[in-house]
Amino acid sequence: MKLRDELPVDHRLAAVYRIGGGLCGAILVTFGILGFANQLSFFNTSGDRIAGLSSNGLLSVISLVVGALLIAGAAVGGNVASSVNMVVGALFVLSGFVHIFILDRSANILDFSMANVIFSFVMGLLILTFGMYGRVTGGLPHDNPYWRRRHPEQAAQEAAAAHRGAAAASGPLRGRSTQTLR
């Protein structure tokens, strides 16, 4: 089974993955553009602020690249958008943990402040939520491809029953008159 075949193109979950990833990507691209508009130096760690967050040119570039990646995933949609959202969200959370330990140290080349760390956690959890939506809950509907993958026997039984029901409904009318009532 190919990854692209797992989630139908018109499945309602695809909209959540696409919209969530696209919105978060647009926020990051906007942050990156604002950093370039303010002509921040690349490795400056003097505490220049953009939208309430400490930033420099390198962080602006990273924001643009990650935002573009999220938007590209949203453009593709389906499982690609979900997977991109989960990976990027996990990286944001990891970045938050790493930057907690390097605040006020020379290793803080992205000029993170505590506000950036909190933003990283919040954005990471938000992107992760958009990526995992409908994939990791216990109450998935039976038409969900992730539920079917986790319960193949029951999914096969339900598909066979649905096929039998569809065949019976479309079969010839047995024992009934085809004349119309007047």
Amino acid code (one letter) for 79? N
pLDDT interval class at 182 (50, 70, 90): very low
Asked if residue 80 lies in contact with residue 63, where contact means CB atoms within 8 angstroms, the answer is no
Cα 97 to Cα 28: distance, rounded to the nearest angstrom: 19
pLDDT interval class at 70 (50, 70, 90): very high
pLDDT tens-digit profile of 81-129? 888 999 999 999 999 999 999 988 888 888 888 999 999 999 999 999 8
Tokens of 172: 């010839």
pLDDT at 127: 92
pTM passes above 0.85: no
Total residues belonging to the chain: 182
| pLDDT above 90 (res 167) | no
